[in-house]
Amino acid sequence: MSSWFGGGGTSNAQQEKEVMAMLQRKQMEDFIYMFNNLTSKCFDTCVNEFNKRTLQPQEKTCAEHCMNKFFKVSERVGTRYAEYQKMQNNM
């Protein structure tokens, strides 16, 4: 990768493209981590019986509630963070 401080023979457009590619990879890694974490937490919390091939109705309901709660909290945190950022930019 080229130097962040100029030189290296690459243009600003090339550097910007490389930075965007790194950001996209980081976002994908963060998404995969979040998904795996969510799956693990909801599974550990909700699935209790391993004698059958399918989820029991109460396990399925618990998993759905767990995922919905996680997404609602994530949305709320994102909204609050955006509000905070906006407030910081106005100062």
The percentage of residues in the chain with a pLDDT greater than 70, rounded to a whole number, is 89
**Confidence (pTM):** 0.62
Question: How do residues 52-74 score in pLDDT, each as one tens digit?
Answer: 999 999 999 999 999 999 999 98
DSSP collapsed to 3 states, the chain? CCCCCCCCCCCHHHHHHHHHHHHHHHHHHHHHHHHHHHHHHHHHHHCCCCCCCCCCHHHHHHHHHHHHHHHHHHHHHHHHHHHHHHHHHHC
